[in-house]
Amino acid sequence: MPPPPPPQLTDYLRILMGEVPWSFLLECALRLVAMYLLLLTGLRLMGKRQAGQISRTELAGLVSMAVSIGIPLLSPDRGLLAPVAIVATVVVLHRFVTRWAARRPAVEQLLQGNVTTVVKDGVLQLPVMERVVLSRERLFAQLRGDSLEHLGQVRRLYMEANGTFSLVEEDEPRPGLSIVPHWDEDFCNVQPVVAGKLACQACGQVVDAAPAPTQNCPHCGAHEWKPAVEAIK
């Protein structure tokens, strides 16, 4: 038997359809409807949390279900029972792990991780941020999204186990490091500077500016300082 001819760039029918008949397009649509309903059913059985921020175990379940429906959706030689079995297994396993974790805090901590404090009394916890792989700009963007202007307004910022943030604001904000982008000069210029106070540019630790500090930051060891600011009233 002679070998098949090599693919040609001008073989538009092959490019569009591959090696399946036109009727397979209708089958793909039917398969998509079946997989869509199967995925919705799986999400419904996994609980209401799927509609919000998801945890690690929930993300693992979603990825597993998504992978299971990919190949049967487009491959004519794959049936639909395999993804049904996979989704059923994912749902049962997820429910088992969730109930197990609810009864044993140590298991939940192992699977989901801990809540971490990334800002404490207006000071960045740099070792914690490094451990959870959180950049300064990502953290500042979160605070700006909460309508804050400087770190002195933050009593605590927690990073939850699922990656979301919980903010506790100071009742009486102290001077702090500005979180306004440095290129926004118009905004930076109208922020009130607090006389006699400097903020560490790395972590936000505030110290007295008279005399100007020549030593490194007592909190993080950095040596660059910026004027501490207050919020615009």
pLDDT band at 50 (very low <50, low <70, confident <90, very high): very low
The pLDDT of residue 91: 82
Kindly report, residue by residue over 135-173, the tens digit of the pLDDT.
Answer: 999 999 999 999 999 999 999 999 987 778 999 999 999
The mean pLDDT value for 198-222 works out to: 86
Cα separations in angstroms, 35 against 10, 43, 139: 34, 12, 38
Which residues are within 8 A (CB) of 85 and not within 5 positions of it... i.e. 6 or more apart? Answer: none
Average pLDDT, the chain: 82
The pLDDT of residue 46: 65
Residue 164 carries which DSSP code?
-
The pLDDT of residue 48: 52
Which residues are within 8 A (CB) of 147 and not within 5 positions of it... i.e. 6 or more apart? Answer: none
Sorted by where each starts, the structural domains of the chain and their CATH numbers stand as: 12-110 (no CATH), 116-229 (3.30.240.20)
Of 42-46, 49-53, 213-217, which gets the smallest average pLDDT?
A: 49-53
Give percent of the chain above pLDDT 90.
35
pLDDT band at 52 (very low <50, low <70, confident <90, very high): very low
Kindly report, residue by residue over 100-130, the tens digit of the pLDDT.
Answer: 877 877 766 666 667 899 999 999 999 999 9
Is the confidence at residue 51, as pLDDT, over 60? no
CB 223 within 8 A of CB 202: no
Kindly report, residue by residue over 71-88, the tens digit of the pLDDT.
Answer: 777 677 777 777 788 778
Extract the runs of DSSP E, i.e. beta strands, from the chain.
116-120, 123-124, 154-159, 165-169, 193-200, 206-208, 225-229
Kindly report, residue by residue over 13-49, the tens digit of the pLDDT.
Answer: 766 767 777 787 788 778 777 877 777 777 677 665 5
* Other CB atoms within 10 Å distance of the CB of residue 154: 27
The pLDDT of residue 54: 67
